[in-house]
Structure 1
Amino acid sequence: MERFVAQRRQALTEAEREMLLGWRDVVEGYFEVRQPGDGIGTAVFHNLVDDVHYRVHSNLGPDVFAAVRPGMFVYGRIVPVHPATDHWLISGHLVPFPRSSGATVARAALQVVTADPGLLRRNRKLYERAWQLQADDRAAFLKLFGSDLVILPPATAQARMIEHYRHRLAQVGASAEPNGMPTPPATSSTVTAEEMGRLPEDYREADSVGMIYDETEGLNYYRDFGRLDAMFADPALVGDHTHITLLRAYLDDPTVSPLPLRRLAKRHPDGVDPVFRVLLRKPGFSWQRDGEDLLRIRKREFFQQETAPSFTVTGDRLAELLHTPEQ
Structure 2
Amino acid sequence: MMSRLARAVELKADLVHFATSGRFAAELGVVLDRFYSDETPADEAAAFLPVDFFAHQHALPGGDTVVDRFLAETPGLDRADVELVASWKIVVEGVFEVRAVDEAAVLLFNLVDELVYRAFSNLGEGAFAPLEPGMFVVGRLIPLGADWLISAPPAVHTAGARDTLVEVAARLALAHPEWVFRNPVLLAQAREAQRAQRRCFTEYFGADLIVLPGADVAEMVRGYLAHQVARLGGPPPRDIDPPAPLAAARTVGLIFDEVAGLGYYAEFGQLEELFNDPSLVVRAAYRDLLSAYLRGDTVSPVPLQRLAERDPAKASEVFAGLLGRKGFDWERSGELLLRAHKPGHFAGPPLPTVTPVTAAIAEHLGLPMES
Which TM-score tier does this pair reach, normalised by the shorter chain? 0.7 to 0.9
Q: Which SS does the other structure have where 1:54 is aligned?
A: strand
Q: Does 1:193 align with 2:237?
A: yes
Q: CA 1:192 to 1:219, structure 2 compared with 1: closer, same or farther past 3 Å? A: same
- Aligned match of 1:220: 263
The 3 A distance-change label for structure 1 pair 104 and 155 is farther
Secondary structure class of the residue paired with 1:310: coil
- Secondary structure at the aligned position of 2:191 is classed as helix
Which of the residues 177, 195, 200 maps onto 1:135?
A: 195
Displacement of 1:224 after TM fit?
0.8
Q: 1:11 to 1:102 in 2, by over 3 A?
A: closer
SS across alignment from 1:312: coil
Q: Return the offset for 1:269.
A: 2.9
Query: 2:127 & 2:362 partners in 1: Cα distance?
Result: 29
1:316 and 2:352 correspond = no
Tell me if 1:298 matches 2:341: yes
Larger relative contact order (Cα-Cα within 8 Å, sequence gap ≥ 6):
1
Q: Is the 8 A contact 1:114 1:311 kept in 2?
A: no
Does the 8 Å contact 1:31/1:47 carry over to 2? yes
Decide whether the 8 Å contact of 1:42 with 1:56 is kept in 2: yes
1:42 to 71, 90, 105: 105
Aligned partner letter, 2:314: G
Deviates most, 275-284 or 208-217 = 275-284
CA distance in 1: counterparts of 2:170 and 2:141, whole angstroms: 19
- What is the distance in 2 between the residues matched to 1:99 and 1:135? 38
Residue number among 212, 219, 230 corresponding to 1:170 in the alignment = 230
Cα–Cα, structure 1 residues 224 and 136, in superposed 2: closer, same or farther, change >3 Å? same
Deviations 1:245-296 (A, max 9, x none): 1111111111112211111111243421222122111122121222112112
Read off the aligned partner of 2:301 and give its amino acid letter.
P
Counterparts of 2:162 and 2:125 in 1: how far apart (Å)? 25
In 1: Cα distance, 2:349 partner to 2:171 partner: 20
Length, aligned pairs only: 301
1:182 equivalent in structure 2:
none
Task: For 1:19, give the aligned amino acid.
Answer: L
> Does 282-291 or 60-69 show the bigger shift?
60-69
Give the letter for the 2:199 counterpart: A
Q: Which residue of 2 aligns with 1:125?
A: 185
Structure with more helix by fraction:
2
Q: Quick one: structure 1 residues 107 and 243, their matched pair in 2 at CA, closer, same or farther if it must change by over 3 Å?
A: farther
Instruction: Provide the C-alpha distance between the structure 2 equivalents of 1:56 and 1:220, rounded to a whole number of angstroms.
Output: 39
8 Å Cα contact 2:313-2:330 kept in structure 1: no
Structure 1: 5+ residue runs without aligned partners? 179-190
- The question of whether the paired residues in 1 share the 8 Å contact of 2:191 and 2:354 is answered with yes
The reply to whether residue 12 of structure 1 matches residue 56 of structure 2 is no
Does the CA-based 8 Å contact 2:209-2:256 persist in structure 1? yes
SS at match of 2:151: strand
Residue pair 1:41, 1:59 contacting (<8 A) in 2 also: no
Whole-angstrom CA distance in 2 between matches of 1:223 and 1:268:
21
Percent identical: 38
CA distance in 1, matches of 2:94, 2:210: 37
Q: Tell me the alpha carbon deviations over residues 11-54 of structure 1, each in whole angstroms, 9 at most, x when there is no partner.
A: 514x444333332322111212223x43x242221101111111
Deviations 1:180-199 (A, max 9, x none): xxxxxxxxxxx64143x432
Shift of 1:76: 0.9
Show the counterpart of 1:208.
251
